[in-house]
Amino acid sequence: MIGDLFNNPIEVLFWFGALVLSITVHEFAHALAADRLGDPTPRLQGRLTLNPKAHLDPIGTIMILFAHFGWGKPVEFDPYNLINPRKDSAIISVAGPASNLIMAFVGAVLFRLVASTPLIGIGGLTGFNPFVTFLEVFIMLNVTLAVFNLIPIHPLDGFKIVGGILPEEYASQWHELERYGILFLIVLVFPLFGPTAPITNIINPIIRFILSLLVPIIGVI
């Protein structure tokens, strides 16, 4: 991506736009789910909005843009305000990745419609369709965000989802692993033992499978 800053600035612009939209909706979905389940914390903190300023973490955004790994500003919620804290926490957590998959599906529908439309030259760039290019980036990014966030490691959404599914006697043991989450992520995300990060080998097959269902001609990030 760093090279693209000089070689393909339009693609970088599309990446940034898709990134802002995807993270904003992801975090808003968390806030909306918490609010609907009875916790006013996100609303009181100004997170029940689609204004990107409320949801973007500067460092996390830069990391995703350049390293394909990063984060938004986490949505805080108080489990004591929830009727069923474990189950509702899982629902709040799954709302973010679910929103990304929904956006990817909508993007795939639009992609098929736009891609089938006769190309009209834009800005003199023969053969370049900016809508198709943006949708390709948008779909890939949302699928990647959904799959990555479903990994069951704290602080990713998958950790709380598993905690809400497990029987209560096992859930307490599961949550004891929370303290080691960052260490697990470092081992998975950074190529410490080879040319590629372990997380790539874990999530790329899943991403490929989902993309093959949505828009088969799109490759993997």
Residues carrying an active site annotation: 27
- What phi, psi does 216 have (nearest 5°)? -55, -25
How many CB atoms neighbour CB 196 within 10 A?
10
How many CB atoms neighbour CB 202 within 10 A?
13
How many CB atoms neighbour CB 80 within 10 A?
7
From the list 87, 75, 203, the residue with the least C-alpha distance to 150 is 203
Positive or negative, the CA dihedral 36, 40, 46, 52 is negative
Q: And the tokens for 147? A: 């799959």
Q: Tell me which residue has tokens 């808003």.
A: 28
Q: Tell me which residue has tokens 């639009």.
A: 110
25 vs 28, 35, 45, 190, 192, CA distance in Å? 5, 15, 16, 27, 32
